Structure 1
Amino acid sequence: MSVFVNQIALGEPGGLRVAIKDSIDIAGQPTCAGSRALANAAPATRNAAVVDALLDAGWHIVGKTNMHELAFGVTGINDWTGTPVNPQAPERVPGGSSSGSAVAVAAGLADVALGTDTGGSVRVPAACCGVFGLKPSFARVSRAGVHPAFTTLDCVGPFAASMAHLSAAMQAICPGFQPFTLQPGAPRVALLEVACDPLIQACLERVIDFVGWQRRDHALEGFTDAFEAGLTVINHETWAAFGHLTGQGLIGADVEQRLLAASRTDAVALAHAELVRARFSQAVDAALATHDVLLLPTLPELPPLLSEARQGRAVGGMTPLARPFNLSGHPALSVPVPLGDGGLKIGLQIVGRKGEDERVCAYGAQLEHALAAVRPTNKNYA
């Protein structure tokens, strides 16, 4: 099965079922990060901190999940371990890099799954597969035992089919996480002005208005620059972590090419990226000083067809709305929203102040509750 690279049974059989991305250590299991280049990795000698936290909470680990090789891709296509099938749209990519984790939840094989998000790698597959996916505030959830060890972007985050399960996962892996309910009244939200498919934009505007959130359009300064800077940083850090694996014929052609391109990231470009990081983080903070959360699509368009992605269609357009918040470090949640009556779900991204992951989740829960009240047709807003 391409969802799991290794099915296991660990923890309390009666606990919530959780799947773990193959870049997160489980004692006694090799951590291969979806790559043949790491196929002979020695088994991990201890659990990652988040794995221990879930076991301590009484959860039941069902397996390690497949992923885009070395977490360096957004489609989820992996010709070595197999490509997980997107349950809501089998003809479309499952998203990456945490493809197997998103698919495991969407297919009902796990109640919750953990992924990692360096440039959208939780939120993008969540949107592709129609589930909830959270990138917590940077460094709020421990990355001890997560690969690569050094990063200034990556966060461990949960997938779930409900906000109740997602919040339960955060309570287990995030010390001090305490869910709360939003106060009555019309919250102040900013709908960011971004380039996206008009159908997606119109759908999300109707959903926001239906829920009763008081929205204002907002142009976030430096958004495009933040995407480019985030790409520069991830290239630099991924080359540092995995560049030594190139040139051996063991890495898929797509990832090998991106790694070699990443090797050309120079100190000048990296220094500029850090200046952009500081400016953009301040711009996000300023927007959140007058709004409770920022809203925008998770993906600017529908996920590409597998056939198109395999034929070389550019897929960099999957991450321009997600990657900037890895650079800034703010928490960001992708909430599944039905696109009309067709059954396909898209992602609405909710971004909050650093450290206020609970508030972001509260907005996600309120949206989930409002949408549940009009199922199954959702004609009230479609």
Structure 2
Amino acid sequence: MSIIVETLDLGGDGPRVMVKDTIDVAGSATRASSPALQDAPLADQHAEVVRLLLKAGARLTGKVGLHELAFGTTGINHHTGTAANPRFPGRIPGGSSSGSAAAVAMGLADFSLGTDTGGSVRVPAACCGVFGFKPTFGRVSRVGVMPTHTSLDCVGPFAASLPMLVRAMSMIDPTFVPAQVPGSVRIGVLRVTAEAAIQKVLHATLAASGLALGNVELQHFGAAYDAGMAVINRETFAACGHLLETGKVGADIAGRLAAAGQTSDAALAEAELVRERFTAEVDQALASFDVLALPTLPDFPLRLEDAADTRAVLGMTSLVRPFNLSGHPALSIPLGSEAGLPVGLQLVAAKGADEKLLAIAERLLLNVQRGEV
């Protein structure tokens, strides 16, 4: 059960940090946990986020594994091994940033970095019971991060606490200035399809927060999921399709990657129209509410033995993928449940309002904690 794929010791005496093996570290090969990249050359310079971490005094202690080529949601990897879910044994760690979430859940890192193209930070954060944040698209540098070209992917941090997540953002984004906890907050509760037990936890938490609540329905939410799939398929095939020629891509990923190559120009054009409509719809909702709230996952994390077919479990991303398409910042907050399984509360804010989103999350959690005392 592999979490760390390469041990490192770089930087100062600040927080211990591990990074997903799609992020370049000078002197190390970026292999994306794929046998097709086993002979990848050593990176000649750090990714910009790594440079910023080291400049801020972080201690980089390792690179961690992932769902092969960052093209899957479960975290299962038959090449490097699947990272164990430390807090919920026998359950999937989530993907694709499985090692990044598991490292924090196990206490191997104070925070870690993953990437989120279709939920790949928020899904494993929810599965492993930690915080995971997808910043506004384009806000955190992706220079030196695989893939080079994307309209969806964001580098984002995992942490076991919200203050550490805020510290991580301060280190990887020079423009990030932590915000004051706002005095009044209005939350739009998004109507979505999810397991009743998860909805129960979510609504109880929001009610206990004492914050003003209202209902929101996004007409293009389902279409945005489908459009996000079309875009990720086209962009991932453009970045990794050539690796199929090696014959070394894992069978589950090879099949999905080959299918991704069939994404038509017409499907991509339609996806871009949906992106425009859905983004405008979310922006409009956020003109009335400070944040939108919904579950991170529609169901509890699967057992490992029930998650073998990558394509069959893509529905795990039904509630996260739309916000990759629109580019809005989104946070997954870990909650518990009567079943003893993890639930993620997802909060979404206006583009560029990353600081405000994290401050609202702090206010919400403080209110809930006070109510429990």
- The TM tier, using the shorter chain, reads over 0.9
* Equivalent of 1:274 in 272, 275, 295: 272
1:142 aligned counterpart, secondary structure: coil
What is the aligned counterpart of 1:322 among 317, 320, 323? Answer: 320
CA distance, structure 2, for counterparts of residue 43 and residue 51 of structure 1: 15
The equivalent of 2:362 in structure 1 is 365
Which deviations, in whole Å up to 9, do the C-alpha atoms of 1:241-271 show, x marking residues without a partner?
Answer: 0000114321111100000000100100000
The yes-or-no answer on 1:254 pairing with 2:244 is: no
* Rounded Cα–Cα distance in structure 2 between residues aligned with 1:16 and 1:172: 10
CA contact (8 A) 1:26 1:51 kept: yes
Hey, what does 1:233 align to over in structure 2?
A: 231
Match of 2:9 in 1: 9
1:1-382 → structure 2 map (5 Å cutoff) = 2-12=2-12, 14-185=13-184, 187-310=185-308, 314-340=312-338, 342-373=339-370
1:63 and 1:277 map into 2 onto residues whose CA distance is 36
Deviations 1:208-266 (A, max 9, x none): 01011211111112000000000000000000000001143211111000000001001
In structure 1, distance between residues paired with 2:91 and 2:303: 4
Partner SS state of residue 333, structure 1: strand
Secondary structure (helix, strand or coil) at the match of 2:281 reads helix
Count residues with an aligned counterpart: 373
Give yes or no for contact 1:18–1:62 (8 Å, CA) kept in 2. yes
RMSD between aligned residues: 1.4
CA-CA distance at 1:313 after TM superposition: 8.3
Q: Identify unmatched segments of 5+ residues in structure 1.
A: none
User: Could you state the TM-score of these two structures normalised by the residue count of structure 2?
Assistant: 0.97
Distance (whole Å) between structure 2 residues aligned to residue 40 and residue 371 of structure 1: 50
Question: Structure 2: which 5+ residue stretches go unaligned?
Answer: none
For 1:243 and 1:313, the matched residues in 2 are separated by 17
Q: Indicate conservation of the 8 Å contact 2:211/2:364, yes or no.
A: no
Q: 1:372 to 1:62 in 2, by over 3 A?
A: farther
Residue by residue over 1:135-169, the C-alpha shift from the partner in whole angstroms, topping out at 9 and shown as x without a partner, is 00000000000001000000000000011111011
Stretches of 4+ aligned residues off by more than 6 angstroms:
none
Residue identity opposite 1:366 in structure 2: R
* SS class of match (1:246): helix
Q: When the two structures are superposed, what TM-score results if normalisation uses the length of structure 1?
A: 0.95
Distance 2:73 2:362 in 1: 27
